[in-house]
Amino acid sequence: MQIIGDFHIHGRYAQACSKTTTIEDLEKNARIKGLDVLGTGDAQHPLWFKEITSKLTEDENGILWTKNKFPFIWQTEISLAYTHNGKGRRIHHVVLFPNKEIVVQFTDALLKRGRIDYDGRPIFGMSSIEFIDMLRSISPGIEVIPAHVWTAWMSIFGSKSGYDSVEECFEDRAKYIHALETGISSDPKMNRRISKLDKYNLVSFSDPHSSHPWRLGRESTIFDIKNLSYESILKSIRTGDGLAGTIEANPSYGKYHVDGHRACGVVLEPEETKKLKGICPVCKKPLTIGVAYRIEQLADRKEPVNVPKFYEVIPLTELIASVYNIKLLSSKKVWEIYNLLIKNFENEYNILLNVSLEDLKKVVDEKLANVIIFNRENKLKINPGYDGIYGAIILNSSQEHKKQIYVKKQKSLSDF
């Protein structure tokens, strides 16, 4: 059986996340998106745990089911803040669990180290090595996946506090890491330019801060497994057998794809940043270095090798809003068009990946239909995201960045 899963989710008690998210919302929008299984998110948070256990029923395979028979697996994200090898680190990890009993033991272990009730994504002052040791002492069935591995902040390879390899982070415990979450700002091609990462499987999940369809499932992983069980999913992640591919956002859509300073209006490609030695030409402070730059720093290949199968698409809601020049993704007009497409073509993934141009034009106008196909064929032009700002689709020249660059020869700023 082939299933599409998103295993990096948050509930409503995680900071900077929607306070209205419910299990029902997640189920409804997962079905609309075309997802087949979700992570629970924030499994250790007392109030979210209570909601999970009151609304979901766990079977003997470690799968939790809603009353309408939609499946979840136990999952959380943990933030670690510590010093290692003389440098301050802030690293996020996705954690998957075999069953409720193991989640309870995990929660008890965390409580010995600090509070868990203030945030669905709590921060602990232990190293990634200590974290792995703690989890292994609870159950070898717990899986740790370094989260959004290239994002400038809070990631294993991030420019602000990250490492240059998995082994540098985990040392001899790196043998317990089997997969890396590519994150919105990178894709498998970028990751496969780095030979050190060849031994690690690549997965993609969305890390949504709400249950909206333009966040939920914007990235996901396709599994080809014999049966829906935690064991089958775990085996695929650990061995690669059964990993059938990923659904990725175009990396330029991500909030940290290129370098820059949003406060200064400065957006830079890696080569431009190198010329400036990483310093903002406006405020003279260090730039926020993006994913593309870090890939170039660590890549030892000009071309990727053994790239796993993946699809690259931007969420449907973003396409609709761009075509009709609507700023608010949740506007009435966007929802009307979105729901019309869902009514005719079942779910968003089907629309983004499968429905023909001819069939699309029977339901929506030709411009939107064409943009959906261009998206599928990775032909859309995008203003790249930088310093916490999402990338944006360009449908005409007036939408392009008014980007500031430093012209060394003139010692001044120029707009183009």
pLDDT at 406: 36
Query: Residue 124: inside a domain, yes or no?
Result: yes
Clarify whether residues 128 and 245 are in a common domain: yes
The residue range of the domain holding 344 is: 315-376
17-43 burial, b at 16+ Cβ within 10 Å, e below that, comes to bbeebebebbbbbbebbbbbbbbbbbb
Query: Residue 412: inside a domain, yes or no?
Result: no
pLDDT at 412: 32
CB-CB contact of 313 with 249 (8 Å): yes
Clarify whether residues 208 and 338 are in a common domain: no
Examine the pLDDT at 179 and tell me if it is beyond 70.
Answer: yes
Q: How high is the mean pLDDT of the chain?
A: 94
Query: Residue 278: inside a domain, yes or no?
Result: no
Count other C-beta atoms under 10 Å from residue 297's C-beta.
Answer: 14
CATH number for the domain spanning 137: value is 3.20.20.140
pLDDT at 399: 56
pLDDT per position as a tens digit, 264-284:
999 999 999 999 999 999 999
* Mean pLDDT within 113-117: 97
pLDDT per position as a tens digit, 47-64:
999 999 999 999 999 999
Clarify whether residues 235 and 322 are in a common domain: no
Examine the pLDDT at 414 and tell me if it is beyond 80.
Answer: no
* Token pair for 291: 């994913």
Examine the pLDDT at 285 and tell me if it is beyond 50.
Answer: yes
pLDDT at 405: 41
pLDDT per position as a tens digit, 372-413:
999 999 999 999 999 999 999 999 755 555 544 433 322 333
Among 25, 79, 76, smallest CA distance to 49 is for 76
